Amino acid sequence: MHNSSLTDPSSTAHTRGEASADTAQGLAHAKAILFGEHAVVYGSPAFAVPLHGLAAQADIRYSPGRETRIESQLFAGTVLAAPEPMGPVVAGLRAALEATGEGIAEVELTIRSAIPHGRGLGSSAAVATAVARAVAGLREHTFDEFALHEIVQKAETVAHGRPSGIDAWAVATPAPIRFQGGRATTIEVGRPLTFVLADSGHHGSTAEAVAGVRALRDSAPTTIDPMIARLAELTESAIDDVRRGDRDAIGGRMLEAHRLLTELGVSTPTLGSLVDAATAAGARGAKLTGGGLGGCVLALADSAEQAEELADALRAAGAPRTWTTEVSRT
Ligand code: PMV
């Protein structure tokens, strides 16, 4: 068990590919969805924040005449022997090499990521973004934000089926974002906000959660559509609250969003008890974040000191790990 800080301003300085001779490095950060998960699938807005201290890193070098190799925590070997879970990385690497206009090349790619997989923190999108940035560095090429997004969405489609695209924008943008209909805009933060993120210890399948909500909506649209509409209202209001720095209002909306997501069937008893533990320990608000059915809970603290108390309470309630992060002006 540990409690590590996510606040690492230096990591924002490394978000572009960096080249030196025939090697290059790319980085990207994790993300958490503060409001609007699931509703975003139906065209509603969503609001995501960067987690700068949790990063994915890709190092790449040319290896002419040898088969392309990938080394990661999951797998080490040639692309041809890569197992299915490496599919998004292979797709991202290919898409990035092709997008430079120079075509496929033999490379050696090393991936290191501190972002836990399957926790709704954007792990697959961050790895793909780091790979694309490393490729850009290697080829001394610049991907604008749209080109980068397109590459990462190709990897995300292999990872998740039909992702809304929020992860791909959120892990590549250093500021909080409002996302809707495939487009992202950055949000000003009126007053720094300290969040504690608690891992439920359970893998959450976003595809399964999205399919569950869809089935519910198909069976009872007149009940579910107003809930989705309410989630959209909460997102828009929370964006205003964040601009004004109104913690109380944000916290209240987090609790309401969690209740709605529970009614949509994407919470679990563990996620529910972590939200209760955070509230009992004095959090302004708490909710599941991301697809649900596992993954993480996000709790809003009053201060960095109170965040420590919240983290203790969340670990006492069974979270195997917690992280503290500050979302501030960029
Ligand atoms: O589980 P995550 O953080 O990748 O979030 C998925 C967000 C959803 O709205 C549930 C799905 C999507 O594609 O936007």
pLDDT of residue 330: 67
39 CA closest ligand 1 atom index: 9
Q: What is the Å distance from ligand 1's center to 100 Cα? A: 29
46 CA closest ligand 1 atom index: 9
Q: What is the Å distance from ligand 1's center to 224 Cα? A: 18
pLDDT tens digits, one per residue of 17-68:
455 468 999 999 999 999 999 999 999 999 999 999 899 999 999 999 999 9
pLDDT at 200 over 60: yes
Cβ of 316: how many Cβ atoms within 10 Å?
Answer: 10
pTM, 2 dp: 0.91
- Helical H runs in 161-286? 166-170, 206-219, 221-244, 247-263, 269-280
| Contact indicator for 299, 310 with CB cutoff of 8 Å | yes
Question: Is any ligand 1 atom within 6 A of the Cβ of residue 166?
Answer: yes
Query: Smallest Cα–Cα separation from 287: which of 114, 4, 49?
Result: 49
pLDDT of residue 315: 98
pLDDT of residue 3: 41
Range name among 6-10, 113-117, 153-157, 261-265 with the lowest pLDDT average: 6-10
210 CA closest ligand 1 atom index: 10
199 or 117, which is more confident? 199
pLDDT of residue 161: 79
pLDDT of residue 6: 45
Say which DSSP state 177 is in: E
Q: Which residues pair with 76 in a beta bridge?
A: 71
pLDDT tens digits, one per residue of 110-143:
999 999 999 999 999 999 999 999 999 999 999 9
Question: Is any ligand 1 atom within 6 A of the Cβ of residue 167?
Answer: yes
Say which DSSP state 305 is in: H
Cβ of 183: how many Cβ atoms within 10 Å?
Answer: 11
Question: Is any ligand 1 atom within 6 A of the Cβ of residue 163?
Answer: yes
- Which of 34, 40, 51, 203 should be mutated for ligand 1, with most atoms under 8 A from CB? 40
Q: What is the Å distance from ligand 1's center to 257 Cα? A: 15
In this prediction, residues 59-84 reach a mean pLDDT of: 95
Query: Smallest Cα–Cα separation from 23: which of 58, 61, 54?
Result: 61
pLDDT of residue 4: 44
pLDDT at 269 over 60: yes
237 SS3 class = helix
pLDDT at 13 over 50: no
What DSSP string runs through 100-146?
A: TTS----EEEEEEE-SPTTSSS-HHHHHHHHHHHHHHHHTT----HH
- Which of 167, 261, 268, 287 should be mutated for ligand 1, with most atoms under 8 A from CB? 167
pLDDT of residue 207: 87
| Contact indicator for 176, 48 with CB cutoff of 8 Å | yes
Q: Are strands 321-327 and 2-5 parallel, antiparallel or unpaired?
A: parallel
pLDDT at 193 over 70: yes
User: What are the tokens at 194?
Assistant: 């300290």
- Which of 44, 119, 180, 210 should be mutated for ligand 1, with most atoms under 8 A from CB? 210
Taking the alpha carbons at both ends of the chain, their separation in whole angstroms is 31
Q: Is 167 in the active site?
A: yes
Question: Is any ligand 1 atom within 6 A of the Cβ of residue 290?
Answer: yes
pLDDT of residue 329: 74
Q: Which of 167, 225, 240, 302 is catalytic?
A: 167
pLDDT of residue 249: 98
Question: Is any ligand 1 atom within 6 A of the Cβ of residue 291?
Answer: yes
What DSSP string runs through 58-82?
A: EEEEE-TTS--EEE-SS-EEEGGG-
